[in-house]
Structure 1
Amino acid sequence: MSLRKVLVLVLVLLGLAGYFVFDLGRFFSLDFIREQQAWFASVYAEHTVAVIGAYFVVYVLVTALSVPGATVMTLLGGGLFGFWLGLVVISFASTIGATLACAASRFLLRDWVQQRFGGRLVTVNRGIEREGAFYLFTMRLIPAFPFFAINLVMGLTTMPLLRYYWVSQLGMLPGTMVYVNAGKELGQLQSLSGILSPSLLASFAALGLFPLVVKKIMTRVRARRFGA
């Protein structure tokens, strides 16, 4: 293994070790976010740019390392920044993090996987060549595919990283909008009675229905495009 690969691997392992050794996952729970909501809001009001920058960096790291926390971070961003600013910040942070994870997978694992599973990888690459960006776009639209798994697997393909970036950003945008809106509604929740507000109920309904609707739409689009 080359020195560059060793250095990248060490950085990834140090990041993962730090997350679990220091139990950083406790800061990415919905309970913690709700308990600290007032504090987050006050710090954001006083140091707006710094908070946005710190949030962006943390989100990128969480996504790049594929550790749990992205969903809660998205809800926090919606509640803290509002819908439009939250959508912009989260869309770019999540896509950059996903692309870094894909690049790390390609840099560290592709040769090893190619040696052991070269035949299967050829099949995946043929699917990429046949369907192009639509292949990735479909997976990004359907939340049933774990995002960290997509980053890992696509890193083993020949898809250019630039294409991976913009297709991922477009594909993840609808789901990001749903989660940011849910976070915005949670951020405005002042009492238990607010749970029954129409807007919050609509947000949670969208969270549940979104995967089903997208799956049906993509099935029909795929059937028309490829004659299945």
Structure 2
Amino acid sequence: MIGEIRKKDLNPVVDALPYIDQGYDEEAEAAAMALIQEECSRYRHVTSTKYDLPPLNFNKFLTELLKAEFERIQNRQPMQGLNMRRYELPGPSSTRVGDLDSWQEALQNAKAQLEQQDLRILSLELMVEYGAEAWRMYLEKAEKTRNLYRKHISSLREKVQAVHFSRKRKQTEAGDKLKQLEARWVSLVTKNYEIEKICAEIAVQNVIKRKQLEEEEEEQQQQQQTVVAES
């Protein structure tokens, strides 16, 4: 239940002035928890919020290739090896040795393989001639990019540190101001209490003096009546 909330079940309270606040005592914490419980008691307690979430879609990123691979693993089938046929130069089969079309097909395959090998050799020659320089330029660019990001990170850290220092300075000044205001408030409350106390004492004295005056006036009237009666 919400009424059974304990301290370990809550996240730390975010203080308004963390640089100067000294935390809160048990009485203040109990008072805050009482307010939280009173506020939570106004609303219906929800034990689960699962119905607020959409159903999980585990197949969102499951492609046909992944499905086939998972099926192969589930069936414990071996992985298909590399197709090396493109590197082979097979001639016509023994039954088609005299077939001209078979020889033309084999010749076209040989030309394609030769062209592919020429392209590979050309790529290797280009890599030997320009690869080292291209790689060096790439590393220099990567180094410059890394240094740029390092400077940017250092600048951000300095700005964050400056924000922390500024917050600490402002909160320290605010803390001193709050302490002064608190001391002034205590002084004013104390003076008001003393004034109220003196006013109450004066009021009591006024009541006593009023009674004394009334008694004196009554005594004088009685004396006057006595003198008149004797005369």
State whether TM-score is above 0.5. Answer: no
Structure in which a larger fraction of residues adopt helix: 1
Q: Rg bigger for which structure?
A: 2
User: TM-score band (shorter)?
Assistant: under 0.3
